[in-house]
Structure 1
Amino acid sequence: MSSRASGVHKNPGPQTYNLLKEFRESVRFLEEGNRLLIFTMGKLPGFSNVYLISGLTTIGGLIQGFDVSSMSAIIGTDQYKEYFNKPNAVLQGGITASMAGGSLLGSLVSSWTSDRFGRRDSLFIACIIWLIGSTLMCAVQNVPMLIVSRVINGFSVGMLTSQGPILIAEISLPHQRGRLLSLQQWMITWGIMIMYFISYGASFMENNGVFRLPWGIQMLPAILLLFCLPMMPRSPRWLAAHDRWEEAVEVLARLHAKNDTLDPIVVAQTNEIREKIEAEKKYASTSWMELFTSRNIVRVHCGIFTHIWSQLSGTNALMYYIVYIFQMAGLTGNNTLISASIQYIINVVMTLPALIFIDKLPRRQLFIFGALTMAVFQFMQAGLMASYGHYVPGGLPGSPTVTWKVTNPKASKALIACSYLFIAAYAPTWGPLGWAYPPEIIPLYIRSKAVSLSTFFNWGCNFALTFFTPPGFQNIQWKLYCIFGTFCLVAALHAFLLFQETCGRSLEEIDDIFDNQSIWAFKVKKEPSRFVADIEQAREDLDAGKVDVKQVEST
């Protein structure tokens, strides 16, 4: 470019050189893909509060929650059944599962967009896709169009749920990371509850607004996130991995030190990130196969199974079809919808303890306790249904999927109570930890791919369960609870054997635990986090004059 310009002007002035330089830099950014969306993002007033940024990032969780319950209160309405020609159990399973099918694809594609364009810009793309899918849902004409629109929405949710937790993990400090990542699950629970009540209110309408109104309202969170993203920072670890150290240090200082690049916390984080990136350079490959090398296979499989067990516990499958479950408990009409809403409220309230205590309690103990408690309530529900229920040939009137009914009033109340207690056990344990744990344990150079893969399995299990749960209730009834309970027991054993403790440690420190300690989690001795010591060392170096602005920003 410069040689061509010099052929036109033999003695170009400084202004010309500056213009050429600026243009060349813009082209370079385009080629590298580092500035995909808005070139003036850095000029906008930016957010610096980590809690605010994390809360906005977890709007993706709110969107996911909207989808979970956008079908729950609608599938039982006469308007929905008539408009879509009374879908049978298999077709309804396909309609509901189509969102998870799209999420499968979105979670995988997000690894490429995240590595190339950054975590923040991946969220921007996902919001645009969500608005497209939601617009189609509002204008839906038939079942094929409904499925296509839900696949598009699912693609967006797959991207949001993969990259949102990564961004939060990479901007937070060790003592706050678990709490901030738990916001993802809390926002999911809020989304489920809010959309359920919106759908419940719309169910009293006498036209197609029963489903069009809720599906239109679900666009609002994406619009909010779309406008806030330009004011949010990029991940400092992504910037560092792309050799943009000056920007990385500025982001760390902006988030944790009121723009003081010489704050000990900023210096300590910068040193840890630099050392880890330098160490990871010897692993030349960042391909998908790197996830399955001996160095990474244990942590990748732990990330994957965190999501698998979270789904196979049966929580989301039962959330989607809570109306069917309470119909089996003998409830009818509005009593079914009102009782279902209580479960969603419990989900919101019981996720709060995780926000308060998750950075104080060991992750492994929460995993094990949660899985064992959920298993107890799943088996109790199976026992109650088997002992006090009976088969209903052809299903209940208007609900052919529900072929089992509990007629004993006390047993019915106990069944509903166990359903509530199961959610109360899931909400502060596997719910938030399912999103917090995978981004913590994966090294930076493969983080987006590995977290995307674990989220892929999350949505794969979600797809399978939402598709097969209606036929499961129709054909094996209470035995489905036994299957879910068994999965919970296996999850507890798996967590005891292989899930390493991450509470209170930096991402780089967690990486060293998997590299240098035993594969068996119960054999690893707990040692004090070295991050505090790193901060003290940075403070001593600063006092001794060993660190200055130039050194920090050029590392």
Structure 2
Amino acid sequence: MLRKASTGTWFPAWVPESTFTISILLMLCSMVQSATAGYDGSMLNGLNILPSYTDYFNLNAATTGLNTASVFIGSFLGPLCSGIITDRLGRRPAIFWGSVITLLGVLLQTAAQNVAMFVIARIILGFGTAISGIAGGVYLSETFPSRWRAWGVGMLNNFYYVGALIAAGITLGTGTWDSTWAWRLPSLFQGIFSLLCIIVLPFIPESPRWLAHEDYLEEALIVCAQTNANGDVSDPVALTVYKEIVDTISWEKNEGKTMSPMEMFKTPVARKRLLIGMSPGPFSCIAGNIIASYYLRAELDTAGITDSLQQLKANVVLNVWCLACSLAGTHLAAKWGRKSTALLSEILLIICLFIIGGLSKMYADNPDGASQSLVYGDVAVMFLFQGFYSIAWTPLLYLYPPEVMNYSIRANGLAVSALMLNGFALVFVFIMPIGLNNIGWRMYMVNGSWDIIIAILIAVFWVETKGRTLEEIDAIFEGEKHSSVPDVEMVRRGKAQIDTSALKQDLEVEVQTQKEKEN
């Protein structure tokens, strides 16, 4: 049964009473958003293999890089304003407008008549995807119950591979068509994910943190109850979650913390949280996956797999493998911890890159005499590499930054992470085909070397956030939690008790006081 809920914005909501149903809808919102980006990468992988696409635009190495990398121009510009939009308009409206802009970019890309139009369309597409992705990461981290947050927010990037798999299948199916629809139809289908996201949005509530910060206290309590206790506002867990949120946001306001982007740089603690929280963006980008994510054809060429049909089939298998690994990685992040999962993944990536570089060198030295075992061994390690990347960086990219950053810098901080990711991606996606063409196997060796530095930085500076609410993570950086109630998981497991009657009375007084201020 649906219940109309106040959202504090122009965008209303009709929310199910069941916490489980709400979580499924939140998960669906997460999935369809991530599928857009995954679809884009895999689609361009497929299109770069199709003669109907490369011949239509008369592409060379430079224009291939421009067509592919142009999405990151928009993805670089989007974070410049997405944090401000997310804080001012609300989390759900920001996701809505980002999805609308993405749809516009998809339509223009499908109708592209030349390289210039294709590039402009992809800039718009990247801009919209950046806004909805950042708003979605903040929204889901603030709305999911802490016990499900790793899965709920991790899926925001995991379904990258579902979108990628769909795109790989579609481009495989249209690859034999003798018309421009061989690449236009895959492009058009990309908009289905943003459309699905827009359909889901009216049935999920606004972020309780955003509502509390905007002084919609009663509405925030209702959302805490909806997402934790089937709408029961007297439930101890719901009351504890709400009390933590209100106390922490009240503390931030009393400390003079604002929603300005400059808040990220004001204090040593804020700067530390920003540096740690934004690191998954650039770390994941330069780990080495860009080669296979956008230039699988060139990578397979270096291993001796040159047939276009075989490359398209490899693209399909690769995405199935990566999806399985990302789901396994989400489980590890939830059970084992974020930092440990990232370290495991990074060490495995380093090993794979040096092996790939060595095998590719052996093939390059004697391509005519290379054995089948050498060729397929190289491809196998390439696939292992992409899977190992997916274990950590796929779920952690949007899961870890919002956890590390407190409310006043969360949206802008995640935007900085995305800004850094797309800034690096804009450069790396453009230079990778040139690098592979000029120095071949040495690119893998260079990439493996800087991954060693990334592993050291994770080991030294990252903190563990597993098992804590967003407010309880404050204790890691501030030295204390800014609320007197016990930790939520202690209450949930029955290891700590709260006086629900007294707490509810206190909260009712706070709500009444706020209403009197407004009048």
Q: TM-score under structure 1 normalisation?
A: 0.85
Alpha-carbon deviations, 1:494-551, whole Å to 9, x = none? 111010010111111112211229xxxxxxxxxxx93334566984312x65534724
Residue 428 of structure 2 is matched in structure 1 by 465
Confirm or deny: 8 A CA contact 2:406 2:471 kept in the other structure.
yes
Residue 64 of structure 1 is matched in structure 2 by 37
Aligned-pair identity in percent equals 27
The separation in 1 between residues aligned to 2:240 and 2:195, in whole angstroms, is 37
Unaligned runs of 5+ in 1: 1-28, 392-403, 518-528
Unaligned runs of 5+ in 2: 1-5, 481-485, 515-519
- One-letter amino acid matched to 1:547: K
- One-letter amino acid matched to 1:513: I
**Which region of structure 1 is more displaced relative to structure 2, 205-214 or 47-56?**
47-56
- CA RMSD of the aligned region, Å? 2.3
Closer, same or farther in 2 for the Cα pair 1:118/1:537, shift >3 Å?
farther
Per-residue deviation at 1:100?
0.9
Residue 217 of structure 2 is matched in structure 1 by 245
Residue 444 of structure 2 is matched in structure 1 by 481
Confirm or deny: 8 A CA contact 1:440 1:510 kept in the other structure.
yes
Per-residue deviation at 1:405?
8.9
Residue 331 of structure 1 is matched in structure 2 by 305
- One-letter amino acid matched to 1:550: E
Out of 489, 499, 507, the position equivalent to 1:532 is 489
**1:51-450 aligned within 5 A:** 51-85=24-58, 87-281=59-253, 282-292=255-265, 293-333=267-307, 334-390=309-365, 407-450=370-413
Closer, same or farther in 2 for the Cα pair 1:267/1:537, shift >3 Å?
farther
Residue 470 of structure 2 is matched in structure 1 by 507
- One-letter amino acid matched to 2:293: M
The separation in 1 between residues aligned to 2:137 and 2:275, in whole angstroms, is 18
Per-residue deviation at 1:46?
7.8
Closer, same or farther in 2 for the Cα pair 1:153/1:126, shift >3 Å?
same
SS of the aligned residue for 1:286 comes to coil
Confirm or deny: 8 A CA contact 2:25 2:203 kept in the other structure.
no
- One-letter amino acid matched to 2:499: D
- One-letter amino acid matched to 2:335: K
The separation in 2 between residues aligned to 1:313 and 1:268, in whole angstroms, is 40
Confirm or deny: 8 A CA contact 2:263 2:408 kept in the other structure.
no
Q: TM-score under structure 2 normalisation?
A: 0.91
Confirm or deny: 8 A CA contact 1:249 1:553 kept in the other structure.
no
The separation in 1 between residues aligned to 2:504 and 2:91, in whole angstroms, is 30
Per-residue deviation at 1:93?
0.9
The separation in 2 between residues aligned to 1:151 and 1:465, in whole angstroms, is 17
- One-letter amino acid matched to 1:241: H
The separation in 2 between residues aligned to 1:80 and 1:379, in whole angstroms, is 33
Per-residue deviation at 1:83?
0.8
- One-letter amino acid matched to 1:425: F
Confirm or deny: 8 A CA contact 1:114 1:163 kept in the other structure.
yes
Residue 521 of structure 1 is matched in structure 2 by none
Per-residue deviation at 1:340?
2.7
Out of 464, 483, 508, the position equivalent to 1:550 is 508
Alpha-carbon deviations, 1:291-346, whole Å to 9, x = none? 12312111111122211111111113321111111122111321222123221111
Per-residue deviation at 1:349?
1.4
Per-residue deviation at 1:552?
7.1
Out of 415, 424, 427, the position equivalent to 1:452 is 415
Per-residue deviation at 1:44?
7.3
Residue 22 of structure 1 is matched in structure 2 by none
Confirm or deny: 8 A CA contact 1:378 1:484 kept in the other structure.
yes
Alpha-carbon deviations, 1:422-445, whole Å to 9, x = none? 112111222211221001010001
**1:25-40 aligned within 5 A:** 35-36=9-10, 38=11
The separation in 1 between residues aligned to 2:341 and 2:188, in whole angstroms, is 38
Alpha-carbon deviations, 1:363-405, whole Å to 9, x = none? 11111111010000001001111233149xxxxxxxxxxxx99
The separation in 1 between residues aligned to 2:348 and 2:247, in whole angstroms, is 41
SS of the aligned residue for 2:177 comes to coil
The separation in 2 between residues aligned to 1:491 and 1:43, in whole angstroms, is 44
The separation in 2 between residues aligned to 1:337 and 1:408, in whole angstroms, is 22
Larger Rg: 1
- One-letter amino acid matched to 1:446: I
The separation in 1 between residues aligned to 2:377 and 2:144, in whole angstroms, is 42
SS of the aligned residue for 2:268 comes to coil
SS of the aligned residue for 1:540 comes to coil
Alpha-carbon deviations, 1:26-46, whole Å to 9, x = none? xxx9xxx9524x4xx245768
Alpha-carbon deviations, 1:406-437, whole Å to 9, x = none? 94422211110110111121112222112210
Confirm or deny: 8 A CA contact 1:295 1:515 kept in the other structure.
yes
The separation in 1 between residues aligned to 2:188 and 2:214, in whole angstroms, is 39
Confirm or deny: 8 A CA contact 1:62 1:190 kept in the other structure.
yes
Confirm or deny: 8 A CA contact 2:18 2:230 kept in the other structure.
no
Residue 18 of structure 1 is matched in structure 2 by none
SS of the aligned residue for 1:260 comes to coil
- One-letter amino acid matched to 2:504: V
SS of the aligned residue for 1:223 comes to helix
- One-letter amino acid matched to 2:488: F
Confirm or deny: 8 A CA contact 1:304 1:438 kept in the other structure.
yes
- One-letter amino acid matched to 1:448: A
Per-residue deviation at 1:464?
1.2
**Which region of structure 1 is more displaced relative to structure 2, 210-219 or 314-323?**
314-323
**Which region of structure 1 is more displaced relative to structure 2, 47-56 or 149-158?**
47-56
- One-letter amino acid matched to 1:495: I
- One-letter amino acid matched to 1:418: V
Alpha-carbon deviations, 1:244-279, whole Å to 9, x = none? 111111111111111111111111111111121121
The separation in 2 between residues aligned to 1:302 and 1:405, in whole angstroms, is 48
